[in-house]
Amino acid sequence: MKRLLVLLAAGATAVGLTTLAGPSAQAATGCKVDYTITSQWQGGFQAGVKITNLGDSVSGWNLKFTMADAGQKVVQGWNATWSQSGSAVTAAGTDWNGTLPTGASADLGFVGSFTGSNPKPASFTLNGVTCTGSVTDPPTDPPTDPPATGTPVATNGQLHVCGVNLCNQYNRPIQLRGMSTHGIQWFGKCYNDTSLDALAEDWKSDLFRVAMYVQEQGYETDPAGFTSRVNSMVDMAEARGMYAVIDFHTLTPGDPNYNLDRAKTFFSSVAARNANKKNVIYEIANEPNGVSWTAIKNYAEQVIPVIRAADPDAVIIVGTRGWSSLGVSDGSNESEVVNSPVNATNIMYAFHFYAASHKDDYRAAVSRAASRLPLFVSEFGTVSATGGGAMDRASSIAWLDLLDQLKISYANWTYSDADEGSAAFKPGTCNGSDYSSSGVLTESGALIKSRISSTDNFPTS
Ligand code: IDC
């Protein structure tokens, strides 16, 4: 059966073609094309084109090839919708032969014209896959695979704020426990496949906070480069089933409005790029300081809509006054936020502490605030607020017990080998490949690892 379909003027631009899906990442692909010049005459020829699908069944196909000589044109084709643009020829499957099960063939053909010689095309692609006559199996472990069963992201799915809690896909409150990077501009070498495997598998971390400083040789020096580094760290977390907090690590200057334009640029980009991921949480200003809650709130109300426009359902963390102390470090308290919350939904407020510096009065503020505000401890240290000094074990344990009891999520500063007490690894660890043995841990690292690696028991119904 020949059905005459499309008559194209030579050189016409391809129009009206259905856009066909390419091969799915999961599908086995492969095809064979037999191109036969069945007859030829002065300036004209007829070609038969037999496509055999060797891969998984395709529904909707698109065969493409390039004429080997610029003077060759499709004049009239059959059993496909034919078009030509320059030397590029497309034949699209029709409603009666658009589905090709494994092993099935479609016989098409066309009448062509030529001005010089009439060679055969060199190669053919079917839905973007070159027809080599053999099958390519799908990658066994593509990096975009859904996380393995049982990981934090596989279990909890897309998160949302419910009341004052962070809730999972079953609308049940959960607590995420994990680690923050140090400044990625300084400690990039600490974030590689081996260290991330250790974080996911040995530490059983639920969470990986990516601290992207804006100043101090950070984002402002190379916006595109830092954006792409953050994105690849989000992917590394996703591949291991961990949540990723994208931390716009403002610190000095303390007024986040100083970086408002940068924040809009950065978040519109990362939110668009990561919108379909379930593992992303946005933290829009690490630690506002020397600035009023009103100014912070104003910043938040400008940045949040930028994220929402691209990624409507992700949880967003808003920094608070006094280095994200809910104002306590500035002599205020949580009431300023309770009385004037950010005008947005699905957000949480950051609370940060350093256990050797921040003790009972700060714990009291968190205990009070926890029933009024959704809190997220996106950064804390076991040491002093400088990031150095000795670990305060008693205060650290009091804090962690409180956070567990209140189901407040946390990330510890830092998963790095910085030469300071807050680092989890001894200096030099990131020059090697051992992130798993107890010998590489600092005192802080050992305590935090023992806390984070205990069973999560996430609710699943
Ligand atoms: C510290 C680092 C330190 C670095 C300093 C300035 O540990 O190596 O020199 O920043 O960039 C925070 C901040 C966090 C601080 C940390 C410890 O969010 O950037 O890291 N800290 O001082 N808030 C309270 C403490």
Query: Considering the chain, what is the average pLDDT of its residues?
Result: 92
Residue 183 CA to ligand 1 centre (angstroms) = 9
Residue 425 CA to ligand 1 centre (angstroms) = 16
Residue 296 CA to ligand 1 centre (angstroms) = 20
> Is residue 423 within 6 Å of ligand 1 at its C-beta?
no
What count of other Cβ atoms lies within 10 Å of the Cβ of residue 79? 22
Give pLDDT tens digits for 300-326: 999 999 999 999 999 999 999 999 999
> Is residue 413 within 6 Å of ligand 1 at its C-beta?
yes
Q: Collect all residues with Cβ–Cβ distance below 8 Å to 253 and sequence separation of at least 6.
A: 215, 290
What count of other Cβ atoms lies within 10 Å of the Cβ of residue 327? 21
> Is residue 323 within 6 Å of ligand 1 at its C-beta?
yes
16 — pLDDT class (breaks 50, 70, 90): very low
Residue 383 CA to ligand 1 centre (angstroms) = 11
21 — pLDDT class (breaks 50, 70, 90): very low
Cα gap 227→212, rounded to integer Å: 9
**Is 264 within 8 Å of 227 (Cβ atoms)?**
no
Q: Is 451 helix (H, G, I), strand (E, B) or coil?
A: helix
> Is residue 285 within 6 Å of ligand 1 at its C-beta?
no
Provide the CB-side half-sphere exposure for 145 (13 A, CA): 14
> Is residue 417 within 6 Å of ligand 1 at its C-beta?
no
Mean pLDDT, range 276-283, rounded to an integer: 97
Q: Parallel, antiparallel, or unpaired for β 160-162 and 165-167?
A: antiparallel
**Stronger pLDDT, 11 or 143, i.e. the higher one:** 143
Going along the chain from its start, the domains and CATH numbers come out as 17-135 (2.60.40.290), 152-452 (3.20.20.80)
Residue 381 CA to ligand 1 centre (angstroms) = 10
**Is 100 within 8 Å of 27 (Cβ atoms)?**
no
> Is residue 287 within 6 Å of ligand 1 at its C-beta?
yes
Pocket test for ligand 1, best of 181, 329, 413, 444 (most atoms within 8 A of CB): 413
- Predicted confidence at residue 137, as pLDDT, reads 82
Q: Collect all residues with Cβ–Cβ distance below 8 Å to 255 and sequence separation of at least 6.
A: 288, 290, 291, 295
423 CA: nearest ligand 1 atom: 7
> Is residue 281 within 6 Å of ligand 1 at its C-beta?
no
Residue 372 CA to ligand 1 centre (angstroms) = 28
Phi and psi at residue 309, to the nearest 5°:
-60, -30
Residue 382 CA to ligand 1 centre (angstroms) = 13
Cα gap 48→388, rounded to integer Å: 76
Residue 446's H or E segment, with its range, is helix 443-452
Find where tokens 């916006």 sit: 223
Cα gap 160→168, rounded to integer Å: 7
324 CA: nearest ligand 1 atom: 23
**Is 413 within 8 Å of 428 (Cβ atoms)?**
no
Give pLDDT tens digits for 402-425: 999 999 999 999 999 999 999 999
The residue whose CA is least distant from atom 16 of ligand 1 is 387
Helix, strand, coil share (%) of the chain residues, nearest 5 = 30, 25, 45
Catalytic residues: 287, 379
> Is residue 400 within 6 Å of ligand 1 at its C-beta?
no
Q: For a pLDDT cut of 70, what percent of the chain falls above it?
A: 92
The residue whose CA is least distant from atom 11 of ligand 1 is 216
Residue type (1 letter), 354: Y
Joined tokens for residue 320: 């608070």
Phi and psi at residue 324, to the nearest 5°:
55, 45
Phi and psi at residue 331, to the nearest 5°:
80, 10
> Is residue 248 within 6 Å of ligand 1 at its C-beta?
no
Residue 48 CA to ligand 1 centre (angstroms) = 70
323 CA: nearest ligand 1 atom: 23
Cα gap 396→33, rounded to integer Å: 68
> Is residue 247 within 6 Å of ligand 1 at its C-beta?
no
What count of other Cβ atoms lies within 10 Å of the Cβ of residue 173? 15
27 — pLDDT class (breaks 50, 70, 90): confident
In 8-98 the beta strands, taken as DSSP E runs, fall at 29-41, 44-53, 58-59, 62-66, 73-78, 81-85, 88-92
Residue type (1 letter), 334: E
> Is residue 356 within 6 Å of ligand 1 at its C-beta?
no
Phi and psi at residue 338, to the nearest 5°:
-60, -40
The residue whose CA is least distant from atom 25 of ligand 1 is 385
CA angle 47, 52, 55 (to 5 degrees): 150
Residue 243 CA to ligand 1 centre (angstroms) = 22
Give pLDDT tens digits for 67-88: 999 999 999 999 999 999 999 9
413 CA: nearest ligand 1 atom: 16
Report which of 418, 453, 425 is spatially closest to residue 187, judged by C-alpha positions. Answer: 418
DSSP state, 64?
E
The residue whose CA is least distant from atom 17 of ligand 1 is 387
DSSP state, 430?
G
Give pLDDT tens digits for 367-385: 999 999 999 999 999 999 9
Phi and psi at residue 214, to the nearest 5°:
-95, -45
Cα gap 137→99, rounded to integer Å: 20
Q: Is 135 helix (H, G, I), strand (E, B) or coil?
A: strand
Joined tokens for residue 117: 């010689």
386 CA: nearest ligand 1 atom: 22
Concatenating the DSSP letter of every residue in 303-351 gives HHHHHHHH-TT--EEE--HHHHSTTGGGT--THHHHHS--S-SSEEEEE
**Is 33 within 8 Å of 50 (Cβ atoms)?**
yes
Give pLDDT tens digits for 101-156: 999 999 999 999 999 899 999 999 999 999 999 888 876 654 455 556 799 999 99
Residue type (1 letter), 313: D
**Is 398 within 8 Å of 372 (Cβ atoms)?**
no
Cα gap 106→62, rounded to integer Å: 12
Strand partners, 425: 441
**Is 29 within 8 Å of 55 (Cβ atoms)?**
yes
10 — pLDDT class (breaks 50, 70, 90): very low
The residue whose CA is least distant from atom 3 of ligand 1 is 387
- Predicted confidence at residue 15, as pLDDT, reads 38
Pocket test for ligand 1, best of 219, 379, 419 (most atoms within 8 A of CB): 379
Cis peptide before 253 (omega within 30 of 0): yes
